[in-house]
Structure 1
Amino acid sequence: MANGKCFIHGGRTPRGSEWHRTQWPDGKSPEAEKKLQRKLAERERYVKKRAACLAAMSPAERERHAAWHAARKPGSAAAREQARAERKQNAEFREMMAAARPAPNGEAAALENQIATLRAELEARRRDDQKPIGAFA
């Protein structure tokens, strides 16, 4: 409903990542204990019914059922799409990192030599800066 409440019982409808979880009653309500007992009984009936359905399935049906549940994680469509995109990007990155680096051409080899020379010079200057000065030598 537009106002966020269920048209059947008037309660707020759970949204986001909590939509599939049991919503427990507020403990401050005068009917909290009664509501809690009703929710627990409902939950127990659901668990028993589901266990009976699963027990009645053949091994092939059970396997298909497990595969269906594994493919449909709870949550919003946007969150599932984002997770798929991240998995795809991670796979592409792993492929890219596993690919062999091309051999450097002449210009790249010259730049790598220059970088190595500058790093060696920097390291030599750092060692010179760490030498004690004057009477403390």
Structure 2
Amino acid sequence: MAELSNCPNCGQLFVKALRPVCDKCAREAEEKFDTVYRFIRKRDNRSASMDEVHEGTGVEKDLIIQWIREGRLRISQMPNMGIPCEHCGKTISEGKLCDSCRNKLTGELKQGDKEKEFEDRKKQSERERNKTYSTLGDRVRRDD
């Protein structure tokens, strides 16, 4: 259901349904996108860096980075263009993390899995050790 909200950019009241900003700000963002897209489509600008695109278009770097992360701008054909790793800030061409941060995170997750597995085995061993058995005549009864 649509809700009434204030635009985070300009503060204007609008019905928040499909977009997180008002129509006016959405149109301005699309115009900026078109400006950046036209700029990087030119053969002369394909080797431009993020700073050069920012200077050449006047569009904020944060918006350009957002469009790249959303997949609206593809930088695979632009060797000098990159976005910052969300963890360390190193320039990367795709994704959210650089290889070293991704590998570090993967290693930490694997280590966490190993620790959890060790704890689970330790608990299972403790349960096995605490089992008691008693005999009642002909039957054997197990107490857990």
The verdict on a shared fold, with TM-score over 0.5 as the criterion, is no
- If each structure's helix is expressed as a fraction of its own residues, which one has the higher value? 1
- If each structure's strand is expressed as a fraction of its own residues, which one has the higher value? 2
User: Which structure has the larger Rg?
Assistant: 1
TM-score by length of 1: 0.29
Relative CO higher for 1 or 2, CA cutoff 8 Å, sep ≥ 6?
1
TM-score by length of 2: 0.28
